[in-house]
Structure 1
Amino acid sequence: MINILLILTLSLAVLTPQTLSNPKLDIQINHAKSDKGMIRVLIFSKETGFPDQPAKALKSLSIQPKNKAGLLSISDLPTGKYAVSVIHDEDNDGKLTTNAVGYPIEKFGFSNNPKVYFSPPSFEKASFELGSEPQRIQIELR
């Protein structure tokens, strides 16, 4: 009986570290236009839906900007490849507001801060590897 309990305990000990070893990801968001509205963050683990389809994002989070910035700490992502898109939803309507020709008038940004010309960056340009160590990324809104 003691051997069975020991085996069960060791089995659980082997399985538990995998679920507890998710690394911490800090996302620092800078240069919001103001402290109005919300900063909306989408985290994708694949290119499908990137960068603007919340239903296809792995995570969809919102934070209140403070001092024109925001910080998110996430500890439930497994190691892997991710891309993050962010908007400063200043009018709090849940979407990126654009002008008559489709150019954004609210600030936006992506992980890796890739250059943006006439369309959003690809998942590959915005993606990064989250390893087993804690990681901090900075997203500069523009």
Structure 2
Amino acid sequence: MKMILILLVFLFSNQLSDQDNSLEIHVIDLKNRTGQVILDVFDSELGFPMKTENAIFRRKMSIPQDGKLVFYIHGLKDGEYAFALIHDENENDKLDQNFIGIPKEGAGASNNATGFMRPPSYKDSKFIVTKPLKLTIKMLYF
């Protein structure tokens, strides 16, 4: 009986740890308070970062008057994730680019990853979640 109780406590605590992970993402270096910032979270490299339909989570947020923008995500399971951010100044729900593909709006990625003449890769952007994390991401403008 005692062994069964210990086993149940162990199993229940593992389930709780999978549900308690959270991200607190601070977005810095926004050039203005126009529009919104869009966060897309991915749990695989499939579609990262441009195919937002492959994101497991999407949130849009207006930029507060003080310019301090923080996204909170709760209930993440242990695992590998990456996210992309867009400063969607004209609120058309996408990253506007010029005719050769250079972003006209701000963009950012987890790990502050960047790509040379391309979007950042999932490999450079991925991080492991096993506990609550607080991250700071710089918005980049080109």
| TM range, smaller chain | 0.7 to 0.9
> Is the 2:115–2:121 Cα contact (8 Å) retained in structure 1?
no
Unaligned stretches of 5+ residues in structure 1: none
Provide TM-score, normalisation by structure 2. Answer: 0.84
TM-score, with structure 1 as normaliser: 0.84
**1:50 aligned partner:** 48
Tell me if the contact between 1:44 and 1:82 (Cα under 8 Å) persists in the aligned partners: yes
Whose Rg is larger?
1
Q: Is it true that 1:96 corresponds to 2:95 in the alignment?
A: yes
Query: Residues 50 and 123 of structure 1 are in contact (CA less than 8 Å); yes or no, is this contact kept in structure 2?
Result: yes
Count of residue pairs brought into register by the alignment: 134
Q: Measured at CA, do residues 42 and 134 of structure 1 come closer, stay the same or move farther in structure 2, by a change above 3 Å?
A: same
More strand by share: 2
Please state whether the residue corresponding to 2:112 is helix, strand or coil.
coil
Matched, 1:72 2:71: yes
Residue pairs, 1:89-128, within 5 angstroms: 89-128=88-127
- Aligned partners of 1:31 and 1:69 also within 8 Å: no
Measured against aligned partners, the alpha-carbon deviations of 1:17-74 in whole angstroms (never above 9, x if no partner) come to 4443321211111112211211000000000010011211110111111233410111
Q: Following the alignment from structure 1 to structure 2, what is the Cα–Cα distance between the partners of residues 119 and 26?
A: 27
Equivalent-residue separation in structure 1 for 2:120 and 2:33 (angstroms): 26
Say whether the 8 Å CA contact 1:37–1:89 is kept in structure 2: yes
Q: Distance in 2 between matches of 1:52 and 1:63?
A: 18
Aligned to 1:63: 61
1: CA distance between counterparts of 2:10 and 2:34?
47
Root-mean-square deviation (Å): 2.0
Flag structure 2 segments of 5+ consecutive residues without an equivalent: none
Sequence identity percentage: 30
